[in-house]
């Protein structure tokens, strides 16, 4: 049994799917999972519904900052590992309301660490020796790169520039401290920008796909030349599986897609894919919907990951190029309007109006 915090969110939900598909592919025993998720706006049980219905996954709806709920889940399910995905993760939301980010990413991680450490200390023998706490983090903790700076490595100094990245940096430091102070068996991964199925539609790629299909403007911040390293989410999930199996305790592993692309190029690529797959009724190209809007405060210019360590120590490398990954992603959103409808609530629409109206 493994326990996955945030397992009904984007990356966590994809991990649940990948976990069982991987078990089948590698002829491994089908190890069940407990999904511990608060089910905020970005958590959706429909994402993992087939596994919940089949009994392979169990859902515990609770906040990671609720120590009693965490304690009870650990005592009931006795996991051999905790995979910590749960986080508030949208930079724009952190600018509008940083308090939730501090609560979830820092206080929540602290609470989870305290209860997980107590649980680990209650274990004996092989159970204690084999237990792992894997913390999933972001490349944004390292700050911003210029066009000529080398890519982020595991030794790059932290320099977070948003309330979101600062809160994730704080959680990373807590995890590191619990290993070095208490000997708690931690692993940390810092990933680049993920994309793929089940991506909540406030983020760049799903927002562009869905706005385009609705004939709405495609808002691009600033000059559109900000660069991100794009990682297909299932490649990320496989990296986490391999770090869980092979990673050295207390170590950090940077996970990148080796796909540095300007934001405007991501948007135009999506437009061209949709032109081919779902042409507009008026015959106009989707690129005509692109609208440049006021940049976000403190917008980091470039992120890039150096994945040398995970490649050399673990043997992982991404299977998808951006071309193959974006093809799968666009097609998935075209094919899954039922899932999209479950997450595009009134609260979500209100948020988009709030965030983008002020940038017009």
Q: Does the annotation mark 100 as catalytic?
A: no
Q: Round to whole Å and give the CA distance between 209 and 126.
A: 48
Q: Round to whole Å and give the CA distance between 300 and 144.
A: 5
Locate tokens 């949208």: which residue? Answer: 90
Locate tokens 């986490």: which residue? Answer: 240
Q: Does the annotation mark 31 as catalytic?
A: no
178 in Cβ contact with 184 (< 8 Å): yes
Q: Could you give the C-alpha distances from 12 to 9, 64, 137, 201, 323, in angstroms and in order?
A: 5, 14, 12, 16, 23
**CA nearest neighbour of 78 among 45, 116, 129, 125:** 116
CB atoms within 10 A of CB 28: 11
- Per annotation, catalytic residue among 164, 195, 198, 286: 164
- Per annotation, catalytic residue among 139, 300, 306, 320: 139
Q: Does the annotation mark 154 as catalytic?
A: no
**CA nearest neighbour of 205 among 148, 284, 265, 124:** 265
Q: Round to whole Å and give the CA distance between 94 and 201.
A: 17
- Per annotation, catalytic residue among 140, 229, 300, 320: 140
Task: Check residue 319 and report its DSSP letter.
Answer: S
Q: State the pairing for strand pair 33-37/2-5.
A: parallel
Q: Which residues are catalytic?
A: 139-140, 164
């Amino acid at each position: 049994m493994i326990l996955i915090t945030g397992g009904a969110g984007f990356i966590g939900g994809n991990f649940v799917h990948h976990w069982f598909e991987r078990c089948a592919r590698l002829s491994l025993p089908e190890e069940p999972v407990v999904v511990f998720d608060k089910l905020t706006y970005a958590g959706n049980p429909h994402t993992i519904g087939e596994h919940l219905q089949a009994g392979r996954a169990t859902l515990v709806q609770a906040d990671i900052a609720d120590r009693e709920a965490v304690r009870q889940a650990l005592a009931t399910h006795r996991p051999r590992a905790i995979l910590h995905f749960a986080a508030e993760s949208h930079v724009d939301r952190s600018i509008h309301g940083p308090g939730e980010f501090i609560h979830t990413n820092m206080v929540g991680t602290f609470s989870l660490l305290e209860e997980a450490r107590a649980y680990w200390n209650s274990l004996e023998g092989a159970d204690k020796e084999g237990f792992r706490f894997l913390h999933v983090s972001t490349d944004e903790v390292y700050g911003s790169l210029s066009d000529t700076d080398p890519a982020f490595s595991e030794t790059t100094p932290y320099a977070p520039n948003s309330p979101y990245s600062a809160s994730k940096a704080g959680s990373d430091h807590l995890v590191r401290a619990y290993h070095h102070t208490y000997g708690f068996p931690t692993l940390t991964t810092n990933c680049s920008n993920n994309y793929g199925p089940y991506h909540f539609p406030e983020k760049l790629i799903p927002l562009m796909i869905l706005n385009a299909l609705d004939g709405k403007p495609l808002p691009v911040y600033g000059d559109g030349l900000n660069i991100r390293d794009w990682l297909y989410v299932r490649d990320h999930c496989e990296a986490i599986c391999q770090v869980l199996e092979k990673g050295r305790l207390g170590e950090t592993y940077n996970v990148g897609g080796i796909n540095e692309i300007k934001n405007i190029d991501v948007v135009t690529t999506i437009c061209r894919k949709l032109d081919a797959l779902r042409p507009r009724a008026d015959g106009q190209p989707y690129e005509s919907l692109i609208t440049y809007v006021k940049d976000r405060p403190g917008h980091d210019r470039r992120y890039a990951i150096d994945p040398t360590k995970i490649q050399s120590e673990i043997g992982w490398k991404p299977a998808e190029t951006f071309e193959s990954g974006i093809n799968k992603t666009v097609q998935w959103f075209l094919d899954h309007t039922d899932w999209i409808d479950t997450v595009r609530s009134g609260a979500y629409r209100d948020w988009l109006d709030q965030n983008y109206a002020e940038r017009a």
